[in-house]
């Protein structure tokens, strides 16, 4: 779309690239051919690095943005025999794998949020600092634009979107300002919307937290692209496609994405059986283990070199066999600790039980804040 592909490749810096490669390597380095899914292909920076590092790996790359797919196809041309690039949203992954005849995969990467291409192209309408049409669609071939949302949503619906997806405490005031402006004429530009938002927010609140329109633009982008609804469906579906030993890495850039990711991983890393049994019943153990303690952040050097890494939160997990034999020593210690608590009544009240998840970490912990890096 009038942008030099070489120039775009040069300006695109993949976030936490080395850490992503480190986490994915054990899953992709296994004997024989492996399959890796880049669920948010973008400009292909992470994908290119994976293909270079793992010559026996086939890449399946998904993106809803046809322009991004075109750039990635050019960038990854030398790997043409090992790539399948698909115009799809990440919640469509099961259907994509079914069409390709791929029953399971070894690695998955989600690099969420708006891509470098979308931010850097003024006419896409994602940036509040540049005047552009109010579009914000990641897939410009279909869907509702931000202009339609701003000019047609009711006050309650607009306020809900801003409050829920932007965590904007002045959502009601901003929605009122938008409705007043709509009475004078249709709102069609990002610059005008940014001005309205800034004027609606009290002056003291405008002095902190970056640009006053930042949260509103985030909320509209999420609403237009159904990002959180798609992610909520996509994460468990993606986890289901991994083989034992397969790994998934998720890069989030705002708290709502990170909360969904944390919840999806916590569901798979906790035990499903009764908590008052000294041993796990077959099939009730955790099916994943976390690979990092909590959410990992980018280091100071990376943020300095790549400011877009400032807000990143990385979480990763590996599929395990829930029926694999557990370490005997750790199991005995877990049982001893529970029995001791029951007999001594340590901190217990009438009717309470001891949760085996509180036992010391033995490498199979279900605490959703512990992992490989702890």
44 is in an annotated binding site: yes
157 is in an annotated binding site: no
Using CA atoms, how far residue 368 sits from 51, 233, 242, 273, in Å, is 30, 20, 19, 17
Using CA atoms, how far residue 44 sits from 15, 19, 104, 289, 367, in Å, is 12, 16, 22, 28, 33
90 is in an annotated binding site: yes
Tokens of 335: 């049982």
Of the candidates 48, 56, 50, 52, the residue with the CA atom closest to the CA atom of residue 21: 50
3 state SS of 214: helix
Using an 8 Å Cβ cutoff, are 251 and 232 in contact?
Answer: no
45 is in an annotated binding site: yes
Torsion sign, CA atoms 360, 21, 111, 272: negative
Cα dihedral 325, 327, 330, 335, rounded to 10, equals 30
120 is in an annotated binding site: no
Pairing state between β 313-319 and 242-252: antiparallel
Q: Which residues pair with 133 in a beta bridge?
A: 189
Residue 294 zone, left/alpha/beta (φ > 0; ψ -120 to 50; rest): left
Using CA atoms, how far residue 157 sits from 165, 194, 299, in Å, is 12, 19, 38
118 is in an annotated binding site: yes
E strand map for the chain? 34-38, 57-63, 83-87, 105-111, 242-252, 288-290, 313-319
254 is in an annotated binding site: no
Of the candidates 295, 266, 286, 293, the residue with the CA atom closest to the CA atom of residue 364: 286
Using an 8 Å Cβ cutoff, are 146 and 126 in contact?
Answer: no
Question: Cα separation of 354 and 339, whole Å?
Answer: 9
Dump the DSSP string for 114-144. --HHHHH-GGG---TTS--BS---SSTTSS-
Binding-site residues, in ranges, read 44-46, 63, 90, 111, 118
Which residues carry a binding-site annotation for S-adenosyl-L-methionine?
Answer: 44-46, 63, 90, 111, 118
């Amino acid at each position: 779309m009038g942008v030099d592909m070489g120039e775009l490749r040069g300006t695109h810096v993949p976030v936490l690239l080395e850490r992503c490669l480190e986490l994915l390597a054990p899953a992709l380095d296994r004997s024989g051919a492996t399959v890796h899914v880049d669920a948010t292909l973008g400009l292909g920076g992470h994908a290119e690095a994976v293909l270079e590092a793992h010559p026996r790996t086939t890449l399946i790359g998904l993106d809803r943005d046809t322009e991004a797919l075109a750039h990635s196809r050019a960038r990854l041309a030398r790997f043409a025999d090992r790539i399948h690039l698909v115009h799809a949203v990440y919640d469509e992954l099961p259907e994509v794998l079914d069409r390709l005849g791929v029953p399971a995969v070894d690695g998955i990467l989600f690099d969420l949020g708006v891509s470098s291409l979308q931010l850097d192209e003024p006419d896409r309408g994602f940036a509040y600092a540049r005047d552009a049409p109010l579009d914000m669609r990641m897939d410009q071939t279909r869907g509702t634009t931000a202009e339609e949302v701003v000019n047609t949503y009711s006050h309650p619906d607009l306020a809900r979107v801003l409050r829920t997806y932007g965590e904007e405490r002045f959502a009601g005031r901003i929605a009122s300002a938008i409705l007043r402006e709509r009475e004078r004429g249709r709102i069609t530009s990002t610059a005008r919307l940014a001005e309205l938002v800034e004027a609606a927010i009290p002056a003291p609140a405008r002095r902190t937290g970056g640009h006053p329109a930042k949260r509103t633009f985030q909320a509209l982008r999420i609403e237009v692209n159904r990002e959180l609804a798609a992610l909520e469906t996509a994460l468990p579906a993606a986890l289901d496609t991994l083989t034992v030993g397969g790994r998934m890495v998720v890069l989030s850039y705002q708290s709502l994405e990170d909360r969904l990711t944390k919840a999806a991983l916590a569901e798979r890393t906790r035990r499903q059986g009764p908590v008052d049994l000294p041993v796990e019943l077959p099939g009730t153990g955790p099916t994943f283990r976390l690979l990092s303690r909590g959410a990992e952040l980018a280091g100071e050097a990376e943020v300095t070199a790549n400011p877009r890494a400032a807000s990143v939160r990385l979480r990763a997990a590996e599929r395990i066999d829930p029926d694999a034999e557990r370490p005997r020593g750790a199991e005995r210690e877990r049982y001893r600790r529970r029995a001791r608590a029951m007999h001594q009544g340590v901190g217990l009240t009438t009717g309470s039980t001891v949760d085996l998840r509180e036992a010391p970490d033995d490498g199979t912990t279900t605490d959703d804040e512990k992992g490989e890096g702890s």
